[in-house]
A and B are shown apart, each in its own frame.
Chain A
């Protein structure tokens, strides 16, 4: 009887999966029960965010310990978010999250530009340039990022001269052990009005591009839609800028006795993190760019030549659109890596999400919920980047399919 049932393929499949599920469930149960038991021994809860008292969905993000006074200061905050040492742990956590987001966005921008330049340079016909690009890639790719970060921080930015002897970059920017001082741009009273003009300019530029593209499609004569659109944008935005009397105020830094006066000062921790992350990730992006360009069949270039396209047209209209489709998935991985690697800020004492989490674990002792919270926060950041990049990718595929 049993043997007949077992000889049935479908029954065997279900049985196998049931056993697997059972093992996993028992394993998971033991895991959670053990953690709970260990924590009860020291009077802690496994997951203080879930309260059985409140209303549905029973999630109480303001768990007791998160409302306590954090007591540590965060030297640099992002997006104008206010934080002081007397704020709560949850506010410190949000500050850290915003810092992570900020360094990731800037880092991604710099790494992409640098990576494309290095990647294209590796394919350059100029022997010296391609060798230098290869040297760059092989050097930075094969040394752990955290070693590079600590090097930039301890051996470069903390070894910068004292503020009195700041390195002077044409009187615009200054570098010292206090940080990098840059001019800051403020909007004055007319700035809001100018912003409306810029919005109008963008709409007009869009219309110009649409009309010129249509004319080009109808007549077959090149009518340079992108030049027209950029011209319209610059003309309207520039003219209104002048008419409104330049509603931007540039606040240049000046070297003071103990700190820079005016402008904005970027602390060495942030500069080191940004440097390290962008330079390291750029070496990987460069390889992706190079590989994708090499993956385009040579016949494509030759066909474009046969059609009479010049160098920049070949790159812009034939090679890059095809290379983009190959670049984006691995590029997304690099963006995710950069965001995840920003957690190494802990090595240079920059208060990002992970560093704030680590300090909170040290102070509040609630390691289990905090590690879970950290992982959840990084998970959602990863999902956001993936979603954005997938959106771009499917849009690109849709456009190339339409053409």
Chain B
């Protein structure tokens, strides 16, 4: 009624709208106009050079010919099924989680996936194509299987079940390795043993990142609690550890792990008759340990900020309800503290993911190492740029998706809206 009585805004022809938009956003002042023109010139030059490289100069055969190397390094072909099982499990759980927690707006993620289509076409053929398709189908099946649960009264139970499935799945995935670590004698059994020096490529990068995140996060939370504790001995130890680790580069920590801690673990010692050291550890394990020790210090510092942000009244309210110290910590303080620092935590996880590339100094064959080896093959000599740009794209896609996911998580948990 009011809408009808008011004259409708005139519908402007599109070129007028575009003109007004350009005047407001690109040419609002003489300075801005100059800036726009200069930027356009520079951008076109850069875009032209980039397009010329991608479509004319570059020879992308180096990527096509080394697909396996990029994804799994020297991993034995006969054992690829393990990785596919892992991927299908991850796809199923991701599908479930997406439906249970994720945003209902699928436009952006789908647009992102569509943008990656050239990558799939380029990378996949034969078995890999079929198995990747079944992976995507598994994801979709899990997503739609969880469809009715999202708004039902079973949602919370479904969510906690999913969390447990993730934890159990992670442990199940680690089990074959934990059962046959290189320090235990004896081979065979249910599965043959794939020594971890045969792990490589993107697979190794993801293993290092996942284990690193999964282990360094609880360790970092413990360190942060220790730093905030009222026990001076524990506090001093935690402060010393955190500050010491944060003051040195990761490469020195990796060296320390590889050259010093490995010696310490190798020598046999028992305390009270229990052998606590005396194991020959693999390089991958020592690299993981280095990454975990390093990342835990940074996570502790982030969580400390979160702990400080929880008002004192929350603790007092918990005590007034008759909760004990541990209950106040785990039920009241930690959930609020962690929720407040999600963005910082995720950027630390992204850092850890990117930092896995530093294991090249321990001569491991991770994604970066593959990109350094591939251009040394006959036929591909000197094509460093192609290999490096390709892995840069992979790192970028993963890191960027993680940062977007964290923004989504933040929105869902309603941080900063109250």
Q: Is the CB of A382 within 8 A of B248?
A: yes
**Is A340 part of the binding interface, using a Cβ–Cβ cutoff of 8 Å?**
yes
Q: Is the CB of B28 within 8 A of A16?
A: no
**Is B231 part of the binding interface, using a Cβ–Cβ cutoff of 8 Å?**
yes
For the complex, what is the distance from the CA of A18 to the CA of B269, rounded to whole Å?
Answer: 23
Q: Is the CB of A147 within 8 A of B357?
A: yes
For the complex, what is the distance from the CA of A17 to the CA of B231, rounded to whole Å?
Answer: 7
Q: Is the CB of A17 within 8 A of B232?
A: yes
**Is A151 part of the binding interface, using a Cβ–Cβ cutoff of 8 Å?**
yes
**Is A199 part of the binding interface, using a Cβ–Cβ cutoff of 8 Å?**
no
Report if A17-B248 is in contact (Cβ < 8 Å); known contacts: A30-B277, A151-B389: no
Question: Which residues of chain A are within 8 angstroms of B36 by Cβ–Cβ distance?
Answer: 126, 128-129
**Is A80 part of the binding interface, using a Cβ–Cβ cutoff of 8 Å?**
no
Question: Which residues of chain B are within 8 angstroms of A232 by Cβ–Cβ distance?
Answer: none
Interface residues of B in 261-278 (CB under 8 A from A): 261, 263-267, 269, 271, 276-277
For the complex, what is the distance from the CA of A38 to the CA of B350, rounded to whole Å?
Answer: 37
Question: Which residues of chain A are within 8 angstroms of B389 by Cβ–Cβ distance?
Answer: 151
Contact of B249 among A18, A24, A354 (CB under 8 A): A354
**Is B207 part of the binding interface, using a Cβ–Cβ cutoff of 8 Å?**
no
Indicate the member of B231, B249, B354, B360 with the most A CB atoms within 10 Å: B249
**Is A363 part of the binding interface, using a Cβ–Cβ cutoff of 8 Å?**
no
Closest residue to B28 on the A side, CB-wise?
A125
B268 to chain A, nearest CB (A): 8
**Is B45 part of the binding interface, using a Cβ–Cβ cutoff of 8 Å?**
no
Question: Which residues of chain A are within 8 angstroms of B147 by Cβ–Cβ distance?
Answer: none
CB 8 Å contact bits of A322-336 with B (1 = contact, 0 = none): 000000000000001
Q: Is the CB of B43 within 8 A of A146?
A: no
**Is B368 part of the binding interface, using a Cβ–Cβ cutoff of 8 Å?**
yes
For the complex, what is the distance from the CA of A369 to the CA of B126, rounded to whole Å?
Answer: 52
A376 to chain B, nearest CB (A): 9
Report if A379-B247 is in contact (Cβ < 8 Å); known contacts: A126-B35, A128-B39: yes
**Is A50 part of the binding interface, using a Cβ–Cβ cutoff of 8 Å?**
no
Contact of B354 among A33, A35, A145, A372 (CB under 8 A): A145
Q: Is the CB of B231 within 8 A of A378?
A: no
Contact of A20 among B35, B233, B246 (CB under 8 A): B233
Question: Which residues of chain B are within 8 angstroms of A24 by Cβ–Cβ distance?
Answer: 237
Question: Which residues of chain B are within 8 angstroms of A144 by Cβ–Cβ distance?
Answer: 354-355, 357, 368, 395
Q: Is the CB of B259 within 8 A of A125?
A: no
Q: Is the CB of A35 within 8 A of B260?
A: yes
Contact of A125 among B25, B249, B260, B395 (CB under 8 A): B25
For the complex, what is the distance from the CA of A135 to the CA of B26, rounded to whole Å?
Answer: 17
**Is B372 part of the binding interface, using a Cβ–Cβ cutoff of 8 Å?**
yes
Determine chain B's interface SS by DSSP, over half rule.
Answer: helix
For the complex, what is the distance from the CA of A115 to the CA of B398, rounded to whole Å?
Answer: 24
Q: Is the CB of A343 within 8 A of B400?
A: no
Report if A147-B368 is in contact (Cβ < 8 Å); known contacts: A34-B277, A129-B39: yes
For the complex, what is the distance from the CA of A343 to the CA of B253, rounded to whole Å?
Answer: 12
**Is A132 part of the binding interface, using a Cβ–Cβ cutoff of 8 Å?**
yes
Report if A17-B234 is in contact (Cβ < 8 Å); known contacts: A34-B263, A37-B267, A147-B368: yes
Question: Which residues of chain B are within 8 angstroms of A367 by Cβ–Cβ distance?
Answer: 255, 259-260
Q: Is the CB of A154 within 8 A of B350?
A: no
Q: Is the CB of B277 within 8 A of A343?
A: no
Q: Is the CB of B252 within 8 A of A374?
A: yes
Report if A155-B259 is in contact (Cβ < 8 Å); known contacts: A346-B251, A375-B252: no
Q: Is the CB of B396 within 8 A of A38?
A: no
For the complex, what is the distance from the CA of A132 to the CA of B35, rounded to whole Å?
Answer: 12
Contact of B231 among A13, A151, A346, A347 (CB under 8 A): A13
Report if A371-B264 is in contact (Cβ < 8 Å); known contacts: A154-B388, A346-B361: no
Interface residues of A in 84-128 (CB under 8 A from B): 124-128
CB 8 Å contact bits of A376-402 with B (1 = contact, 0 = none): 001100110000000000000000000
Report if A38-B263 is in contact (Cβ < 8 Å); known contacts: A371-B256, A374-B255, A378-B247: yes
Q: Is the CB of A341 within 8 A of B249?
A: yes
CB 8 Å contact bits of A1-42 with B (1 = contact, 0 = none): 000000000000100111011001010001111110111000
For the complex, what is the distance from the CA of A340 to the CA of B248, rounded to whole Å?
Answer: 6
Indicate the member of A142, A151, A347, A354 with the most B CB atoms within 10 Å: A142
For the complex, what is the distance from the CA of A100 to the CA of B368, rounded to whole Å?
Answer: 24
B150 to chain A, nearest CB (A): 30
Instruction: Please give the number of chain A residues whose Cβ is less than 8 angstroms from any Cβ of chain B in the complex.
Output: 59
CB 8 Å contact bits of B23-35 with A (1 = contact, 0 = none): 0011010001001
For the complex, what is the distance from the CA of A336 to the CA of B399, rounded to whole Å?
Answer: 22
Report if A383-B247 is in contact (Cβ < 8 Å); known contacts: A33-B269, A371-B259: yes
**Is A143 part of the binding interface, using a Cβ–Cβ cutoff of 8 Å?**
yes
**Is A264 part of the binding interface, using a Cβ–Cβ cutoff of 8 Å?**
no
Contact of B266 among A38, A341, A347, A371 (CB under 8 A): A38
For the complex, what is the distance from the CA of A340 to the CA of B251, rounded to whole Å?
Answer: 9
Q: Is the CB of A142 within 8 A of B350?
A: yes
Q: Is the CB of B252 within 8 A of A147?
A: no
**Is B87 part of the binding interface, using a Cβ–Cβ cutoff of 8 Å?**
no
**Is B184 part of the binding interface, using a Cβ–Cβ cutoff of 8 Å?**
no
Closest residue to A366 on the B side, CB-wise?
B259
Q: Is the CB of A30 within 8 A of B271?
A: yes
Report if A146-B357 is in contact (Cβ < 8 Å); known contacts: A126-B26, A343-B252, A371-B260: yes
**Is A361 part of the binding interface, using a Cβ–Cβ cutoff of 8 Å?**
yes
B123 to chain A, nearest CB (A): 18
Contact of A34 among B234, B247, B269, B357 (CB under 8 A): B269
**Is A139 part of the binding interface, using a Cβ–Cβ cutoff of 8 Å?**
yes
Question: Which residues of chain A are within 8 angstroms of B25 by Cβ–Cβ distance?
Answer: 125-128
CB 8 Å contact bits of B219-257 with A (1 = contact, 0 = none): 000000000000111100100000010111111100110
**Is B391 part of the binding interface, using a Cβ–Cβ cutoff of 8 Å?**
yes
CB 8 Å contact bits of B20-54 with A (1 = contact, 0 = none): 00000110100010011001100100000000000
**Is A358 part of the binding interface, using a Cβ–Cβ cutoff of 8 Å?**
yes
**Is A344 part of the binding interface, using a Cβ–Cβ cutoff of 8 Å?**
yes
For the complex, what is the distance from the CA of A346 to the CA of B362, rounded to whole Å?
Answer: 12
Q: Is the CB of A155 within 8 A of B385?
A: yes
Q: Is the CB of B40 within 8 A of A354?
A: no
Q: Is the CB of B252 within 8 A of A347?
A: no
Q: Spell out B's residues near A (CB within 8 Å).
A: 25-26, 28, 32, 35-36, 39-40, 43, 231-234, 237, 244, 246-252, 255-256, 259-261, 263-267, 269, 271, 276-277, 350, 354-355, 357-358, 360-361, 368, 371-372, 384-385, 388-389, 391-392, 395-396, 399-400, 403
A–B pairs, 24, beta carbons within 8 Å: A17-B233, A20-B234, A30-B264, A30-B276, A31-B261, A33-B269, A125-B28, A127-B26, A128-B43, A142-B395, A142-B399, A143-B354, A143-B395, A143-B396, A144-B368, A144-B395, A150-B368, A151-B389, A155-B388, A354-B251, A367-B259, A367-B260, A379-B244, A382-B248
Query: Knowing that A20-B233, A34-B263, A354-B249 are A-B contacts, what are 11 other residue pairs whose CB atoms are under 8 Å apart, sorted by A's residue number?
Result: A126-B36, A142-B354, A143-B395, A150-B371, A340-B250, A343-B252, A344-B251, A354-B251, A361-B255, A367-B259, A379-B248
Q: Spell out A's residues near B (CB within 8 Å).
A: 13, 16-18, 20-21, 24, 26, 30-35, 37-39, 124-129, 132, 138-139, 141-148, 150-151, 154-155, 159, 336, 340-341, 343-344, 346-347, 354, 358, 361, 367-368, 371-372, 374-375, 378-379, 382-383
Q: Which 9 A-B pairs have the closest CB atoms?
A: A155-B385, A367-B259, A142-B399, A382-B247, A127-B25, A34-B267, A144-B354, A340-B249, A343-B249
